[in-house]
Amino acid sequence: MARHARGTPTPSSLHHPGRSPGASGGATLSAELLEQSREHDLLPLRWAAAMLLTALEPGSDAVEAELRAVTALLARRGRVLG
């Protein structure tokens, strides 16, 4: 699995080989949004993109790990999620 320097998965690694990229390409766009929000450190948008990918790519370990990581960051930085 391809990873960024921070250890988070890249958009290309968030998709399962041989599976469609989600409803009407939504997973592809969500993965791109996740990448861009990570680059610009936009945590709420990164969290939303990870949530959307979780719905579009159920069972993806990489997506679930990304969502857990972003949720933990938001909780530490802003106490937003609990």
How do the domains of the chain map onto residue ranges? 25-78
Say if residue 72's pLDDT is above 60. yes
pTM of the entire predicted model: 0.66
Residue 11 CA to residue 24 CA, distance in Å, equals: 17
Residue whose pair of structure tokens reads 């968030």 in the numeric block: 14
Strand ranges for 10-67 from DSSP E: none
Q: Is the pLDDT of residue 12 over 50?
A: yes
Question: Per residue in 50-68, pLDDT tens?
Answer: 999 999 888 889 889 999 9
pLDDT band at 47 (very low <50, low <70, confident <90, very high): very high
Residue of higher predicted confidence among 16 and 50: 50
Instruction: Please name which of 16, 43, 42 lies closest in space to residue 28, comparing C-alpha atoms.
Output: 16
Rounded CA-CA distance 25/42 in Å is: 23
